[in-house]
Structure 1
Amino acid sequence: MTPKDERVRDFLATRRAKITPDMAGIPKGNSMRRVPGLRREEVATLAGVSIDYYTRIEKGDLTGVSEDILDAIAHALQLSDDELAYLYDLARTAHRPSRARGRTQKAPALPQQAQLLIDAMSATPVIAHDARLDILGANALGRALFDLVYASPTRRSSTAPPNLAAFVFLDPAAAEFYADPDDAAAVCVRILRAQAGASPHDKRLTGLIGELSTRSEDFRSRWAAHDVGRHRMGTKTLHHREVGELVLGFEQITLDSAPSITLSAYVAEPASPTAERLQLLAAWTAPVSSEAR
């Protein structure tokens, strides 16, 4: 029997449901539609393949499917670049040998030179995290900014890295820390979903997803939507319990020396209230000299 991948089936079905006939340029006609989005035959027509072939693919059978076909389906479903990358990951990993299953990937370590780099960025909060959203390092201001995450009871021990997704879904303090907790939750799920496509057999990742699915109904609901994406830049509003509201732009930096680790740097508009509050937070976290003591 040909192996079928439920992730492929569910991902394509949820993407198809998001595309209306109007979005695809298909006349609605007078018939009543039984599906919220496109029908399978409509996707097949848009992708230039037979309905039987597309149905086989959507059921999770990617045997012999070429990149050209995947690109055509992605175009028909109007997939984003991140969604297309996820579809490619599913196609690449669907038929891996069984020996790859259940493999535990070691947690990456932040290189010492990278730690020195972020320490030198003393006026900017910086955290280093992996695709599982474990915080692997930070400079003093980054640790102070995310102090609620470091102090969260979701950490298994004082030596275990804090995890942003566990904080968002399992710690009530997240609703205080994030001005938009719904957006924070959506971002976490999209990132974890993308990583699950790239590393479907990583026990650390599947263990985290299993724990969140078991303990959080919100996570289960969002996970079932199969939304995918990376979070490379943007703006966040955070509420720090000591200095108040912080409106911060952020940019993500990938390390050549450790590609699995991402640096997230947070910046404030010059001369803004947020910039003043960051300066105050930096003053509180600055090391005190022996003479000052």
Structure 2
Amino acid sequence: MLQRLLDDLVDMPAMVMGRRMDVLAWNAAAVALFGDYAALDRAERNIARITFLDETSRELYADWPSCARGNVAYLHMDAGRHPDDPELASLIGELSMKSADFRRWWAEHPVQDKTSGTKCFHHPVVGDLELAYETLRAMDDPDQALITYAAEPGSPSHDALRMLLAWAAEVPSTMPTDHRAR
């Protein structure tokens, strides 16, 4: 069901996030906004890893510290739900070793779910975007979440998002067929 929703959201960046903030699936609009997850090894397709270890994320998120802290809080929540997850422990260890920001914020022990809100982006192609995000979970698989991003109709962000999607439609997609959500 999540894959069907994802496929139908052609004018809205969307992705399916799994445990540990792994990116399991995405649509072409998400590629336009965030970059091509298909260009990354499967193990590197992780929102927290990208946020803290990919310098371009600091440029993309207009309020990177807030976004990054939210990711730390979500990983804390995930660690509480799955305390014996060796892959999560490995991810937390890697981020702690490689990012002073992650290490400092992890020590604060924040806990927060990803539900809804607004994120501001500074996209290299279209400039500033303010997008509302919603997180939807299937009752039969709460470890997967469909995250969508939308602009307020008629806003400058709406126009910029439409321009970004039109630009991206002209660029050939390299999205593989194995990006399907369960």
TM-score (norm 2): 0.86
The superposition leaves residues 169-194 of structure 1 with CA deviations (integer Å, 9 ceiling, x where unpaired) of 11211210110111011101100001
- 1:131–1:192 Cα contact (<8 Å) kept: no
Among 173, 184, 189, the residue aligned to 2:56: 173
Which one scores higher on RCO, CA 8 angstroms, separation ≥ 6? 2
Q: Which residue of 1 aligns with 2:11?
A: 123
Matches for 1:138-149 after TM superposition, within 5 Å = 138-147=26-35
SS in 1 for 2:157: helix
Q: Max radius of gyration: which structure? A: 1
- 2:13–2:150 Cα contact (<8 Å) kept: yes
2:73 aligned with 1:190: yes
**Residue 257 (structure 1) shift:** 4.2
Query: Structure 2 counterpart of 1:115, which letter?
Result: Q
Matches for 1:33-44 after TM superposition, within 5 Å = none
Q: Which residue of 1 aligns with 2:113?
A: 230
The superposition leaves residues 87-110 of structure 1 with CA deviations (integer Å, 9 ceiling, x where unpaired) of xxxxxxxxxxxxxxxxxxxxxxxx
2:169 and 2:58 mapped to 1: Cα distance?
A: 28
Query: Structure 2 counterpart of 1:128, which letter?
Result: V
- Cα RMSD over matched residues? 1.9
Query: Structure 2 counterpart of 1:127, which letter?
Result: M
Q: Which residue of 1 aligns with 2:154?
A: 271
Give identity over the alignment, percent: 41
May I ask how many residue pairs the two structures share in their alignment? 171
2:134 and 2:114 mapped to 1: Cα distance?
A: 9
Q: Which residue of 1 aligns with 2:174?
A: none
Structure 2: where are the runs of 5+ without partners?
Answer: 172-182
**Residue 114 (structure 1) shift:** 2.0
The superposition leaves residues 121-155 of structure 1 with CA deviations (integer Å, 9 ceiling, x where unpaired) of 1111111102311111111101211117x388xx5
2:168 aligned with 1:285: yes
SS in 2 for 1:271: coil
- 2:135–2:148 Cα contact (<8 Å) kept: yes
Among 82, 98, 121, the residue aligned to 1:215: 98
CA shift in 2, pair 1:147/1:230, >3 Å:
same
